[in-house]
Amino acid sequence: MNWQDKVVLVTGGTGSFGKQFVRTMLDEYHPKKIIIFSRDELKQHEMRLAGFDHPSLRYFIGDIRDRDRLYRAMQGVDVVVHAAALKQVPACEYNPMEAIKTNIMGTSNVVEAALDAGVQKVLALSTDKAVNPVNLYGATKLAAEKLVVQSNAYAGGRATRYACVRYGNVVGSRGSVVPVFLRQRESGKLTITDDRMTRFWLSLEEGVHFVISCIEQMEGGEVFVPKIPSMKVIDLAKAIAPEAEIEVIGIRPGEKLHEVLISEDEARTTVELDEMFVVQPAQALWFGYSWQDKGQPLPDGFRYASDNNTVWLDEEGIKAYIAPFEKLYAEGKL
């Protein structure tokens, strides 16, 4: 795939993922144009001031709830990376219709605008919370995944293809527990909800490179799942503040002890490759089943969860991941 000929649009382009994606694109892939589509003028202004002022960048004010604005923004676009979402679990629980309007209806607007504008590839970002969801955020992302995957049926003979990436917690992203623990460290006490809790773990850079790789490989209908390590939240707390008291405050509404990236039912249509799993569509009425020949089928009852993972981060491994955020926090930038 020759990125230098491509026009790329990123929804939620001023977020943690969006900024890292744009930086990586500019540094390594040099696309013809990158359109940053987001609703917050202040964040766009701050992004410009932070050095994102390359001649190939365009800043579009717009909300994915506004289908007409998406139509306008996608004219001449080749690739859409759909990263815009309401993602804070408590906020989604308290404002359920807002989560539905953005995460489900907004995704529908992205899908339809891309189809009508003749976009070649749309890759949407999902989350481990979409598997067997227990909170509204996870439920909306599950619905968004289904919308994206099944929209390949609408594409028919057109060029547009849709796929998803699903991965776990991103170290230090906006709303992450890492900045919270760094702030709590100053008081000498960290709070965790349950000392048994585990989570999947990856860095922003790893997430961005995985997304780019999936855009290059996608055929339409896939959900791509990277092979990433797990960690215990209590080990994260100890890595950040080894001397601090740890208070267990009880699991919050809508929170799981362990996250799942591939359920037992999905495993039946999933193939395993060296670096990732590919969940193929349950009903391949169009395309997306050629991965059968590229990977290995999974055994019956397979479940890819943060508590049964074969790859774990110990405290030293965790410290390597959080080192950049320790530096940012010390500089007052986090």
Total tally of structural domains belonging to the chain = 1
Task: Tell me whether residue 232 is one of the annotated catalytic residues.
Answer: no
| Domain region containing 157 | 3-168+201-226+260-305
Is residue 128 one of the residues assigned to a domain?
A: yes
Please indicate, yes or no, if residue 231 is contained in any of the structural domains: no
Task: Establish if 218 belongs to a structural domain.
Answer: yes
Q: Which of 19, 43, 121, 129 is catalytic?
A: 129
Q: Confirm whether 313 is domain-assigned.
A: no
Cβ(288)–Cβ(217) under 8 Å?
no
On whether residue 244 sits in a domain, the answer given is: no
Report CA-CA distances (Å) from 97 to 84, 86, 105, 146, 147.
16, 11, 10, 19, 18
Residue 241, domain member (yes or no) = no
In angstroms, rounded to a whole number, what is the distance separating the alpha carbons of residues 330 and 334?
A: 8
Q: Mean pLDDT for each consecutive 10-residue tract of the chain (334 residues)? A: 96 95 97 97 96 96 98 98 94 95 98 96 97 96 96 84 94 80 92 94 95 96 96 94 92 90 95 95 67 89 96 91 84 74
Residue 286 is predicted with a pLDDT of 58
310 assigned to some structural domain? no
| All residues at 6 or more sequence positions from 11 whose CB lies less than 8 Å from its CB, including other chains | 37, 38, 64, 80, 81, 82, 83, 84, 110
**CATH number of the CATH domain containing 208:** 3.40.50.720
Q: Which of 262, 241, 248, 240 minimizes the C-alpha distance to 171?
A: 240
How many CB atoms sit inside 10 A of residue 53's CB?
A: 10
Q: Residue 60: enclosing H or E segment and its boundaries?
A: strand 57-61
Evaluate whether residue 330 is within a structural domain: no
What DSSP assignment string belongs to 69-103?
HHHHHTTT-SEEEE------HHHHHHSHHHHIIII
Structure tokens at 202: 């990856």
Among 52, 279, 281, 292, which residue's Cα sits nearest to residue 153?
281
